[in-house]
A and B are shown apart, each in its own frame.
Chain A
Amino acid sequence: MKYSIFSLARNAVSFHRDWPLAWRSPAPKSHYDVVIIGGGGHGLATAYYLAKEHGITNVAVLEKHRIGGGNTGCDTTIVRSNYYLTANARFYEHSLRLWEGLSQDLDFNVMFRPRGVLNLAHTHADLENQARRGNAMRLNGIDALALNRPEVASMVPDLDMSPTARHPILGGLLQPRGGTARHDAVVWGYARGADSRGVDIIHDCEVTGIRRDGNRVLGVETTQGFIGAGKVGIAAASHSSVVAGMAGLRLPIESHGLQAMVSEPVKPMLDAVVTSDAVFCCVSQSDKGELVIDGNVDGYNSYAQRGNLPVLERVVGAAVALFPSFSRLRLLRLRGGVMDMSMDGSPIIAKTALDNFYVNCGWCYGGFKATPGSGWCFAHTIAQDRPHELNAAFTLDRYTLGRAIDERGAGPTPWLH
């Protein structure tokens, strides 16, 4: 069913009791051409583009809980492509272009709002680094504007720009086309789009093992029985290492906790995404009026989905130092997500050493904005059995070959990316 003003009017007549379910909940078949492990944004987007771009519709997406209930459900919803390194810049820019047409493509309002993503500069070194990154972005065809101090002050009036500010602000780098989207809508839109093209979305179906015959994967053992598969792709985010381990693979991934928090809702006060790399803090205001805040990872391996107090205190302290008016707000919710941190801070969308087994992981804390591009590239990699030009650099063997894509230059210390 196409959502439109007419379907809305027709259903208003029946008091909205007759809307069809947006997707089915089928029992798994015994065999699929492609099985995707993980029903978050990336897994569902992969299934959608497999069906839409490559005509592969005999596909199952397996999710151990409910779809979109993991990291997709608790991220800070920021969309941007302000990367320095060419491989990242081109990939994330492709993703951003998909975001720009996503509501029309899915016939589902994902509420993408390009309100601008502003990185603050606190030192002259920050300014020079931003000029370098901004120029690199523009060379890659991405919008970037260097703002001076008065321009930052007029764009974000609540920032502390006083002479005694804890973190003096000298300027900033703005990507006007960046912004935010509604995370649940992205999940529901991709699920509905994939389902209407014949993909089976199977929730409450945990993968417990992967059956192999030599170098081939035959299928997956699940809590709903064995499911045979022509090809298997994993988009399991924090549990990538666990799932890949079932097939006997070790990944260059560590799982780390990251906290995101939301304040009580207030009237519109912040019409941009404001981030500071120097103090590791990122703030935006949701459409409901809540201030959405996050910082850096907690700093040690964790699968716990809850955070620690020292990092929480540091992130909130940084937010209040930047925005003194936040000090009287109360936090309503705190979520701990588990990030699949790769060894160079960049993702992996690649074939593995096994013939028909593919991995999509290493999203660190940048997975949400990548959702459309990740699904698009992963679908291409699975369908064609080779990467697309856009994800050709995001291989597993780049670590062996010394071709790490290390945006931050931190080396193989995942908790510092």
Chain B
Amino acid sequence: MLLIQCPFCGPRDQVEFSYGGDAGVPRPADPAALSDDKWNAWLNERDNPAGEHDELWQHSMGCRRWIGVRRNTLSHEVVSSWALQPAKTA
């Protein structure tokens, strides 16, 4: 069972959260300008590390805010969590 630190509500049980996937792939600023390969790289390709992984979670049964969580995929240790700033683009 994961204990996730919500930056707004404090430490909460994993069942209060929904998973939102890899946080290491910022959404492109101008998707229409991308080549198919670059769009595919953003949409589908992942680093998928065995180790620390930045990911998105939503506190769906709590404050309903999206947060960032750094978590170890080998040990399941939650390393840190943070409030998301207004959408970052690259």
Contacts and interface: CB of A to CB of B under 8 A. Distances in A.
Contact of A301 (B1, B45, B73): B73
B74 A303 contact: yes
Contacts of A310: 1, 14-15
B89 interface: no
Contacts of A309: 1
B46 interface: yes
A299 interface: yes
* Residue among A241, A308, A400, A412 having the largest count of chain B Cβ atoms under 10 Å: A400
B75 A304 contact: yes
A300 B55 contact: yes
B50 interface: yes
B44 A304 contact: no
Nearest to A404: B44
A308 B73 contact: no
A310 B73 CA distance: 18
Interface in B11-60: 14-15, 19, 21-22, 36-37, 39-41, 43-50, 53, 55
A400 B2 contact: no
Contacts of A304: 73-76
Contacts, number: 71
Given A299-B19, A300-B19, A301-B53, A252 B1 contact: no
A86 interface: no
Nearest to B47: A250
A252 B74 contact: no
Contact of A400 (B21, B22, B36, B49): B36
Contacts of B22: 254, 301
Interface string A252-263: 111100000000
Nearest to B18: A299
B45 A255 contact: no
Interface string A236-270: 00010110010000111111000000000000000
B76 A251 contact: no
A343 interface: yes
B48 A254 contact: yes
Given A250-B46, A252-B40, A254-B21, 18 more contacts: A241-B48, A241-B49, A242-B48, A245-B47, A251-B46, A253-B46, A254-B46, A301-B48, A301-B73, A303-B50, A308-B1, A308-B2, A310-B1, A310-B14, A343-B43, A399-B44, A412-B43, A413-B21
23 contacts: A242-B49, A242-B50, A245-B47, A250-B45, A250-B47, A251-B48, A253-B46, A253-B48, A254-B21, A254-B22, A254-B46, A255-B48, A255-B50, A301-B22, A303-B73, A303-B74, A304-B75, A308-B1, A308-B14, A399-B44, A400-B37, A400-B40, A401-B36
Interface of B: 1-2, 14-15, 19, 21-22, 36-37, 39-41, 43-50, 53, 55, 71, 73-76
